[in-house]
Amino acid sequence: MTRPRVHVLALGGTIAMTGPGGHHITPRLGAEELVRAVPGLTDVAEVTSEQLRQVPSTALTLTDLLAAARRVRSALDAGADGVVITQGTDTLEESAFALDLLLDPGAPVVVTGAMRSPDAAGPDGPANLLAAAQTAASHAAHGLGVLVVLDEQVHAASTVRKVRSFGPGAFVSPDTGPVGWVVEGRFHPRTVPAGVRTVPEPDEDRLAATVVGVLPVHLGDDPRAVVAAGGLGYAGLVVDSLGAGHVPPSFVEPLAELARIMPVVLASRTGGGPVHTETYAYPGSETELLAKGLLPAGWLDTRKARVLLTLLLAAGVPREEIGAWFTPAHVA
């Protein structure tokens, strides 16, 4: 029987990091070494591999992800049945979502990494890479958009987030749970992602030049950063707001001013649930901010909203169309 073909694209991260005595680790293992370290991987699929970057994920950019999306397409065009991308976990939830937005849903594309380095007692990288390949080789993963596989859990790129700085079990999808699991070597879907969006592909130079700022908001905060944001050359701003989409009263006018010159998206810092649109009506509440021209992020958290807004602006999507990408009917 012919095995499915899975292409592994390596970008670096802890999964590839070694160092003296397991300390001071940096990315060193290449794509082929990662593949060779996984027992049973060649039983699952005919695996090819390629090194695209060799960096901690904090050094990745959206243009790297655009390059990765193009490599994914080439690998699929060349006959791969699925693609696995390995990278650092710190920004994995953003990378996976960027790929999800850039690629048409179709053949499985799976992002994975590791919380423990290859030198650790019980590294999770090989197990994660095996489960990712099993998912990428699965017909059941077709059309679900980009998936994230760690700890035998399979998450949608649009919902997953890293919620702990150490140890396996650091990734969850707070609102939905995983879309499935890898059990006995096979991907078992249990639900389908609520909606998969594909954005127009931006030009590389324009993407590199498009900077979307993020504004954190806290108890008793002062709005001087909002005022400053207007002069920083941002193409847009995402507000990491309180609760269901709220800011201190003193933020309202500076945010309204910003929303006149750039798209300003209102997301929630809570880590779960959508920003509201019609519940509260006090100064700094979501209804007031939306009336002043801010756009609700829907179910997207701040990190994912920033990725979406950056890609839309870099692709030249007209301002009046931007809001609909955050709350399209099928994902609202």
Q: Which residues bind ligand ASP (CB under 6 A)?
A: 13-14, 56-58, 88-90, 113, 115
Half-sphere exposure of 100 (CA within 13 A, CB side): 27
Q: Tell the smallest beta-carbon distance from residue 193 to ligand ASP (Å).
A: 24
Q: Tell the smallest beta-carbon distance from residue 25 to ligand ASP (Å).
A: 9
Q: For ligand ASP, which is the closer residue by CB, 87 or 158? A: 87
Is there a contact between 244 and 275 (Cβ–Cβ < 8 Å)?
yes
Q: Give the amino acid at 158.
A: S
Q: Work out the burial of residue 118: count CB atoms within 10 Å of its CB; fewer than 13 is exposed, 13-18 middle, 19 or more buried.
A: buried
Q: For ligand ASP, which is the closer residue by CB, 2 or 165? A: 165
Q: For ligand ASP, which is the closer residue by CB, 89 or 241? A: 89
What is the token pair recorded at 210? 């498009």
What is the token pair recorded at 181? 């699991």
Is there a contact between 272 and 240 (Cβ–Cβ < 8 Å)?
no
Is there a contact between 303 and 293 (Cβ–Cβ < 8 Å)?
no
Q: Tell the smallest beta-carbon distance from residue 66 to ligand ASP (Å).
A: 19
| Secondary structure (3-state) at 182 | strand
> Which residues participate in catalysis according to the annotation?
14
How far apart CA 160 and CA 173 sit, in angstroms, is 4
| Secondary structure (3-state) at 233 | coil
Q: For ligand ASP, which is the closer residue by CB, 69 or 115? A: 115
Q: Tell the smallest beta-carbon distance from residue 232 to ligand ASP (Å).
A: 26
